[in-house]
Structure 1
Amino acid sequence: MNTSDSTDFCLRLARAATTLSRRFDSGLGNHFGISFADYQLLRQLVRAPGGKLRRVDLAERLGLTASGVTRSLLPLEKIGLVGRQSDPRDARVGYALITPAGSELVTNADALVDQISNEFTTGTDAAQLGALSGLLGRIAGISASQV
């Protein structure tokens, strides 16, 4: 079977993404009781101006549907990591906001995510990581500020 270099890369990328997600899920679940998807959502809120985002903007940043974000937010709201806020000018617009507990959890989880990330990238120089990160961002349609 002869596959092109781009197909080989994409298949390896998909396998790597699965491997990374499993490792992040395991570490974050064991230490903080959240999934990797939860961490990514919380991290987006922490990095947002004022610690809040419209749900539709959060969905776009995470590559989810608006209903998918709503489903993801519900358990995080129940445990006090995120809250809801309505727009006083438009009742149809809803914001998700990080709580102090959610912000603290992300700060603590960042160290574990950094540790796991370093384990996977040991031996790779900064230039290689930068180039690959740029390519992955282009594939995902995101900029560095949206990570």
Structure 2
Amino acid sequence: MGEVRWLTDAEMLAWRSYIVATMRLRQRLHRELSEAHAVSLTDYEVLVVLDSQPDKRLRMSELATMLGSTKSRLSHQVGRMEETGIVCRVPDPEDKRGVIAELTPDGLDLLARAAPAHVEGVRRHLIDLLTPEEQAVIGQGFSRVLEHLNQLGE
């Protein structure tokens, strides 16, 4: 296996800051969405991805990939969202085994109401704290990480 390449102090700072800040940022954004609009951050993210599609619908397997979720976890989540009427699931007409998640009018309305508050939170707790150069570095760096993980099938 070879010698372990232990993290330097600078590398450890980058790693730990990323881990803790990401967790706390997601908790903060979740709390703000939940309190103001009674929607979780993970449900909001489903709504955003579906809204980004031209027909407001997407195969469940593709939705799971875009959200970095497992099919099983997403199935349970979408089931809960379906109970509240903000999404629905329909059979895929092109694949008898496939299922499509679709944004409902209620889901679209919820997204329209919640989006301004969410964007304000993202700005206040992340974007406005960074210089444009730092934003570019973070965007480029994590795009590279995501591409690497996608190639591994994660």
- TM-score of the superposed pair, with normalisation by structure 1: 0.87
Whether 1:32 aligns to 2:37 is: yes
Under a length normalisation based on structure 2, what TM-score does the superposition of the two structures give?
Answer: 0.84
Question: What does 1:74-85 align with in structure 2 at a 5 Å threshold?
Answer: 74-85=79-90
CA RMSD, Structure 1 to Structure 2 (Å): 1.9
Which residue, out of 15, 18, 29, partners 2:20? 15
Residue 48 of structure 1 aligns to a residue whose secondary structure is coil
Distance 1:3 1:91 in 2: 49
The answer to whether the Cα contact below 8 Å between 2:86 and 2:105 also exists between their aligned partners in 1 is yes
Structure-1 residue corresponding to 2:114: 109
Report the Cα distance in structure 2 between the residues aligned to 1:123 and 1:30, rounded to whole angstroms. Answer: 23
CA deviations on 1:15-41 (whole Å, 9 max, x unpaired) are 111111111111110111111111111
Identity of aligned residues (%): 23
What secondary structure is seen at the aligned counterpart in 2 of 1:122?
A: helix
Q: 2:136 aligns with which of 130, 136, 144?
A: 130
Aligned to 2:50: 45
**Counterpart residue type for residue 131 of structure 2:** D
Post-superposition shift, 1:124? 2.3
Long gaps (5+) in structure 1? none
Greater Cα shift, 11-20 or 104-113: 104-113
Q: Which runs of 4+ in 1 moved over 4 A?
A: none
